[in-house]
Amino acid sequence: MDNADAALAQLRRGTIEFCVLALLRDEPKYGVEIARRLGDADALVTSEGTIYPLLARLRRAGLVASHLHESPQGAPRRYYELTPAGKKSLQLFVNRWRQFADAVELVLGERS
Partner 1 sequence: MTDTDLHAIADDYLRRVRDALRPLPPTERAQVLDELDAYLRTELAERPGMSSDDLQQTITRLGTPEEIAESALPVAGNASRPRRRVLVTIVAAVVAALIVSGVALGLTLGQSSVASPVNPRFSAPQQIQIYPRQHATNIRFLSFSWFGINKSQWVLRTTFFKPGTMTPSNGPVEQYGPLPRLNELELVYIGSNGSIELYNTAHQRIPTPGAQWTVVPTPATTTTVPFT
Contact status: 112 vs partner 1 (CB under 8 A): no
Contact status: 29 vs partner 1 (CB under 8 A): no
Distance CA 25, CA 23 (A): 6
Contact status: 85 vs partner 1 (CB under 8 A): yes
Least distance between partner 1 and beta carbon 14 (Å): 5
Contact status: 87 vs partner 1 (CB under 8 A): no
Contact status: 53 vs partner 1 (CB under 8 A): yes
**DSSP result, 4-70:** HHHHHHHHHHHHHHHHHHHHTSSS-EEHHHHHHHHHHSTTT-S-GGGHHHHHHHHHHTTSEEEEEEE
> Which CB, 19 or 109, lies closer to partner 1?
19
Contact indicator for 35, 86 with CB cutoff of 8 Å: no
Least distance between partner 1 and beta carbon 91 (Å): 15
> Which CB, 40 or 105, lies closer to partner 1?
40
How many residues make contact with partner 1 (CB under 8 A)? Answer: 31
Least distance between partner 1 and beta carbon 2 (Å): 14
Burial (0-12, 13-18, 19+ Cβ within 10 Å), 58: buried
Q: Which residue type does 43 have? A: A
